[in-house]
């Protein structure tokens, strides 16, 4: 059912609920209280339910009023999204974007920033590695890419899944030559493993066939880039996103090992300010990165 009047009345209903009184809305918009009251009564008549329980000084939403309010907010969000899509189609991305990225993916992501810059010359970037954030907590970031678990129930950020990144086990050529007969990670001793973890507590390795517990690894770090550097130095085997190791594979600094085992993919997400705080340029960059990784997965 398409009813423009209904949509208008729902909009004013949410406005009244958010500000808490007809007087507050009238003061902010210049519309008479009597007109606002008539709009809400018309909405109640149209829907056949009572939305507000009116008192001498204030009103309360009825239970059905709360449900209608929630649905109306979704309608308004959809309208904002439609407006944003139109703006993005009309305006070319530009301006400064402050970004954080996992260091292990910096090579790939920077190449994507280059393609984005070639397409939209007016864009500029300020780039930080993810592990630098704690020492730069006073900086407002427009966009953060992360492989870490996303925070839950946060009103400060919006988390979007970007891509599931395939992973593999990597070692430098010298160590790989010693492991030619070891086709699974279960055959590799703990002391030859480089794993994620906090402090001295190593995290297990999650495989598509199960879980490999690790007790005494060669190295524990919370930073995947550190694990990659350690693998290149010959300190052990690391489980890493393949897209983050393309340069090392091409230059033969790293080789894949234990090919009979396939690690579980790792999820790359983006984190941005709430809906109204994200710019069209940032939104377009997210789409570009996601499309690039989708294409990468199809080619590999």
Range of the domain at 110: 93-157+268-298
* Domain end call among 88, 104, 123: 88
Both 249 and 283 in one domain: the answer is no
Answer yes or no: is pLDDT of 174 > 80.
Answer: yes
Provide the pLDDT for residue 138: 53
Provide the pLDDT for residue 2: 67
pLDDT tens digits, residue range 193-246? 999 998 889 999 999 999 999 999 999 999 999 999 999 999 999 999 999 999
CATH of the domain at 277: 3.40.190.10
CA–CA dist 199, 159 (Å, integer): 27
CATH of the domain at 13: 1.10.10.10
Most confident region among 16-30, 48-62, 128-142, 206-220 by mean pLDDT: 206-220
> How would you label 38-62 residue by residue, b for 16+ Cβ within 10 Å and e otherwise?
ebbeebbeebeeebbeeeeeebebe
- CA within 13 Å, CB half, 24: 13
Both 275 and 232 in one domain: the answer is no
Question: Do 175 and 238 contact (CB within 8 A), yes or no?
Answer: no
Both 21 and 77 in one domain: the answer is yes
- 162, part of any domain: no
Both 83 and 97 in one domain: the answer is no
Three-state secondary structure call for residue 49:
coil
Pair of tokens at residue 146: 């992360």
What's the pTM value of the predicted model, to 2 decimals?
A: 0.68
- 253, part of any domain: yes
């Amino acid at each position: 059912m398409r009813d423009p009047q209904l949509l208008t009345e729902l909009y004013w209903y949410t406005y009244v609920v958010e500000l808490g009184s007809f007087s507050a809305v009238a003061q902010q918009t210049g519309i008479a209280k009597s007109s606002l009251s008539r709009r809400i009564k018309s909405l109640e008549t149209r829907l056949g339910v009572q939305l507000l329980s009116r008192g001498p000084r204030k009103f309360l939403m009825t239970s059905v009023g709360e449900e209608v309010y929630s649905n109306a907010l979704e309608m308004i969000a959809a309208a904002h999204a439609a407006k944003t899509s139109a703006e993005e189609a009309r305006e070319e991305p530009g301006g400064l974007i402050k970004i954080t990225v996992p260091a292990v993916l910096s090579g790939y992501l920077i190449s994507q920033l280059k393609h984005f810059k070639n397409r939209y010359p007016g864009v500029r970037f300020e780039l930080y590695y993810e592990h630098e954030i704690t020492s730069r907590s006073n900086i407002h970031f427009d966009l953060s890419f992360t492989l870490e678990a996303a925070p839950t129930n946060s009103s400060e950020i919006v988390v979007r899944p970007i891509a599931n990144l395939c992973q593999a086990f990597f070692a430098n050529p010298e160590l790989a030559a010693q492991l030619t007969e070891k086709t699974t990670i279960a055959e590799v001793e703990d002391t030859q493993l480089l794993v994620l973890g906090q402090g001295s507590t190593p995290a297990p390795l999650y495989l598509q066939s199960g879980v490999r517990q690790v007790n005494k690894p060669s190295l524990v770090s919370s930073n995947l880039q550190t694990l990659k550097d350690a693998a290149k130095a010959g300190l052990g085997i690391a489980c890493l996103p393949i897209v983050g190791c393309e340069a090392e594979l091409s230059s033969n600094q790293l080789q894949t090992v234990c090919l009979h085992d396939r690690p579980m993919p790792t999820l790359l997400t983006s984190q941005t300010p709430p809906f109204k705080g994200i710019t069209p340029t940032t939104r377009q960059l997210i789409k570009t990165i996601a499309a690039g990784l989708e294409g990468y997965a199809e080619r590999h």
